[in-house]
Amino acid sequence: MTRQQKADAISEILESLYPEIPVPLDHTDPYTLLVAVLLSAQCTDERVNQVTPHLFARANRPEDMVHLSVEEIREIIKPCGLSPTKSKAIFNLSHILLDKYDGQVPQDMALLEELPGVGHKTASVVMSQAFDVPAFPVDTHIHRLAYRWTLSTGKSVEKTEKDLKKVFPESTWNRRHLQIIFFGREYCPARGHNPYECPICRKYGRRKIFDEFDRAEAARQRNKQKAKKK
């Protein structure tokens, strides 16, 4: 089976499981999405959605955010982790949006990537989910699954993005990346994953993940036998 055939088959599975895909991060406009995505770095979407209502109750526009101090922002977003860096980024990018873009989030990938704390992945999410521009944001979860499914070599996140863009039609990028995220959380987690039970891995998984699972399972059985003998 070619990589393209495998991608087509995986697409069918994802479409059947997730015909409707909600955006994971709660937001009301491009600015609140931008802030939420920035906060999600090394933090769960669930935690971000718990924190952002408190932040946005104080400031949900750049013109309000700049009237908070970096220390006030940091105190609110502390549960998301990396709060010293993130609070400075939110404060500074809010100033830039006011100074350069009349308080609006630019609908341009390159301009987004120039903002403090905004990398390629964050910019891709905003372009995709706020402006409905085709993009394929690749986080560590999508990177892991693309490798497991042999859709990419796993050499880098950048390589994975290029590989996935080749095998999935551009018109599906915005929904496909979300479907993969939801699938990973429900069926294909980083830990405790059984490839024999996974709806995609059991059919299209890399041989290596089965070998690793088999070795781990054999070790567990040996440990059980040792424990019984004691």
Helices (H), 66-206: 70-77, 83-101, 109-113, 120-129, 140-148, 157-167, 173-186, 201-204
How many Cα atoms are found within 13 Å in the side-chain-facing hemisphere of 26? 12
139 classed as catalytic: yes
Residue 224: predicted pLDDT: 81
Residue 89 neighbours by CB distance under 10 Å: 21
Residue 230: predicted pLDDT: 63
Separation of alpha carbons 141 and 24, rounded Å? 14
Domain ranges, ordered by start, for the chain: 1-21+134-230, 30-129
Closest C-alpha among 200, 104, 95, 103 to residue 144 = 200
For the domain 1-21+134-230, what is the CATH code? 1.10.1670.10
Residues 128-184: tens digit of each pLDDT: 999 999 999 998 889 999 999 999 998 899 999 999 999 999 999 999 999 999 999
155 classed as catalytic: no
Orientation of helix 173-186 relative to helix 3-17, angle to 10°: 70
Residue 34 neighbours by CB distance under 10 Å: 26
What averages of pLDDT result for each successive group of 10 residues across the chain (230 residues)? Answer: 96 97 95 97 95 98 97 98 97 98 97 97 96 94 95 92 97 97 95 95 96 93 79
**Could you say which of 29, 64, 88, 139 is catalytic?**
139
The CATH number of 30-129, from 1.10.10.10, 1.10.340.30, 3.30.70.1060, 3.40.50.300, is: 1.10.340.30
Residue 6: predicted pLDDT: 97
**Could you say which of 88, 108, 121, 166 is catalytic?**
121
Residue 188: predicted pLDDT: 96
Residue 1: predicted pLDDT: 87
